[in-house]
A and B are shown apart, each in its own frame.
Chain A
């Protein structure tokens, strides 16, 4: 019997070479240009590319291309123009020779125009801010999102957080362009932004131009007071200093004459503060608590709160059902419809409300533990579990009542949450009402400080003594953003999750493996270095668990 052919992996039938390389090339360029600019037409071009790829015959001109799907008048016209230009420049060459022709075709320049961000645009501000931070000796080499936004805002005309009317894009959107152009990289979770070598070079040039410009008129351009005021109105939450803010609130004019120190105080976080009387305590209700379901009981909660005169706001909370914010009192600006956005700091109390049937359902499908996990990590230190329901409501559910009761007790003892039991939705509303009133009273004369969780981390110790409430609070924006369910994944995280897909590999074992081989690449490389199967099996034996032999086998097999 002749030797069986060695198994070939991958494609068995060779791909034919491209019959329409020019059209393909132009469409690809058009698509990439559109992608850079973030235009939706990139998808149109992509569809045309897909369809062209499936067509095996050479096309003589753009009109012929019209027979293909997704080739409409627009694209054909563009391709026709390009074709004409190509013929003019290259004589009537035969089309479709090889796919490897480069540099041909009209309209494409040899060297792409280098990306230079506009002065005082988002990209400009971000590059310059990171560059300046890098110049400080001993700097950490990266910045976190909130930090970067705060520091870069003064260099940028558009707000990093508040989109212009009619658009959903802010100056921050340009960061994705910078990343795509390899000027910036984003790593870790929570995200860290740092300059690449190219980014550094570009930023250096930006800085030197900036310096030259400054030197010419002989005074600080960017620190004028006039510009200050305008920026105030647009993005109040981005001020690094609180001088002007305080003066506006307290009605004093004395601070306005003060010369502004450089707003980009990179090293020291200049703490924003809210003075007593300048803010109000507001209950935030997750909008899912008020809609959905056939229960008009959900509406009843809101109605009760209204009847009790509770100041509340319905919004989308990424974690928890109720919480409280201290919101700055703002007065509308004459001449503008939209009132300026007040700063919001979130108080340490967060409530997860569970009716008995919800509790039962969430235990069964596993959400119960996941929700508690997320509540513990959200940055607020006083989680509350509001359990609504009487014994009768617990009676006819899928789980026995004792199981539910045990789960509630566990939440208090094991997870350390404050458990509040109420009979029905009216009592829930009563509890929220009383809590809001008491919190308002508690914070009556307190100055609040904005703390950034990214920069300063969480505070573990209970610094309260007696009746003094905690006054160093996170901003609502940072809190809600940080609690998003499906955050960006890092290599490490996905690798760990993948390891845990094997039975017997739990979190701590995955952590142990990651201690030695922090990415799949390094683990696979280590396996390749092993000489024999036995060695491969032993590779992870430092972790000494029989089932890991199977893990090793898994990485070796090539079936």
Chain B
């Protein structure tokens, strides 16, 4: 039964790295705060008392706590007993009292500030957690996206997530952008930090036109001023260098279907010898495209997209319906919201990745149950150690302390190196059971791990 640590929950949770940093800063500050006067000691005692009065829960200021507090909080303990003092003495004691008060106030302010800082950090960290983060997101949608029939679904989907939605003209045409509300500031939108990810929806017309231009330039060398897919996107990137763009096109299949049916129709007419029925036909597109769109093949679309990828790194998503597009936007919202948390999690500074088998961690209760399992798992952290091998070592040395003791009882280094080599591993049952030893190589690796003082020492023998 897991007993959680209780005192933790009173204080706001702050991530470890920041806590350590705070500690360092605080240590520096308390050093700086210590005034270099004769009355310093008593001042510290006073401030300690002040602390005690105002903060009943524990505050970690170990340097201050070390002082014993035999004195009472009274600033002038000896007044009643001492003989009458001269004017200078009174003046001096007043000045001292003033200084002490100031120091106390400074101390208090410092603590307030620290507390507020810690609180802010805790809140910021909390705001990045997966459950919380999405509430702080603001999705900004360009009104042009809402004009078509899909707009309603988009808005509804976004709002269903629990984040706020704003409809305003975006700098990038037909785009959806995200911003994260900074939790501590009381200002309204000014506290929003924009996110770099942007999704730009492109109409099929624009898309095909740009690709067509690209094909003209590539294949036929026609270099007129009309933009190609790549050059258009590059232009957008230049204008917004802080943004990571991605494109979305809805229902491109329709275009290809129309194209195909058109070409079939023309073919049939040509074969049957009928006269083409003039411009009317072209207007009878099922999709409702106005004007004729240039013809572009699928391979050409692929080529244009690869060219786009190699020159800009921008990807294009194809979605068949507006519903799919709004789903895509909601998924992107979730991803953008959780991204900082996930990236933070990966910053361990270690070059290895803990596989899912080991990722969980073994629960240990207060009585110590589960520690054996932990030790067994720890033995398996070496490369090429199977559960059988770990069991064999575990049986001989059920705890790391025992192993350490055994090492200290060995007289020579060779003995230590080979301590585990001859432990037998039981594999298989009955007739098919074989005897295998742990072996000198693994014995050496364990020895090195437990006894080396050099963290960069390599354990494996391979070159």
**Footprint of B on A, CB under 8 Å?**
9-10, 50, 172-173, 175-176, 179, 186-189, 191-192, 365-367, 369-370, 373-374, 377, 382, 402, 405-406, 409-410, 412-414, 418-421, 430-431, 434-435, 438-439, 442, 466-467, 469, 486, 488-498, 500-512, 514, 518-522, 524, 542-547, 549-550, 553-559
Contact = CB atoms under 8 A, between A and B. Distances in A.
21 contacts: A50-B437, A367-B356, A414-B339, A414-B343, A466-B311, A469-B310, A491-B455, A491-B459, A496-B350, A500-B358, A501-B358, A501-B378, A502-B361, A508-B17, A511-B349, A520-B450, A542-B20, A546-B7, A557-B399, A558-B401, A558-B405
B366 interface: yes
Nearest to A173: B463
Interface stretch (B180-188, B208-216, B285-293, B313-321): B313-321
A161 to B, nearest CB: 13
Interface string B233-275: 0100000000000100000000000000000000000000000
Contacts of B461: 176, 179
A256 to B, nearest CB: 36
B406 interface: yes
B115 interface: no
B361 A503 contact: yes
A489 B315 contact: no
Nearest to A423: B318
Contacts of B75: none
A175 B463 contact: yes
Nearest to B398: A559
Nearest to A498: B378
Nearest to B340: A414
Contacts of A492: 455-456
Nearest to A376: B346
Contacts of B17: 508, 512
Given A370-B353, A409-B331, A431-B306, A466 B234 contact: yes
B303 interface: yes
B6 interface: yes
B86 to A, nearest CB: 50
Contacts, number: 241
A338 to B, nearest CB: 25
Q: Which of B20, B347, B378 has the most C-beta atoms of chain A within 10 angstroms of its own C-beta?
A: B378
A373 B449 contact: no
A497 B364 contact: no
B449 A189 contact: no
Contacts of B315: 412, 418-420
Interface residue SS majority, chain A: helix
Contacts of B7: 546
B307 interface: yes
B129 interface: no
Contacts of A430: 299, 302
Which 9 residue pairs spanning A and B have beta carbons closest together?
A546-B5, A366-B356, A507-B348, A503-B361, A492-B455, A413-B335, A498-B378, A518-B455, A497-B381
B458 interface: yes
Interface string B426-463: 00000000000100000000001111111111111111
Interface in B324-363: 327-328, 331-332, 334-336, 338-339, 342-343, 345-363
Given A173-B463, A439-B310, 6 more contacts: A175-B463, A192-B456, A402-B331, A431-B306, A497-B358, A553-B368
B5 A547 contact: yes
Given A413-B339, A434-B306, A501 B371 contact: no
A477 B259 CA distance: 48
Nearest to A193: B463
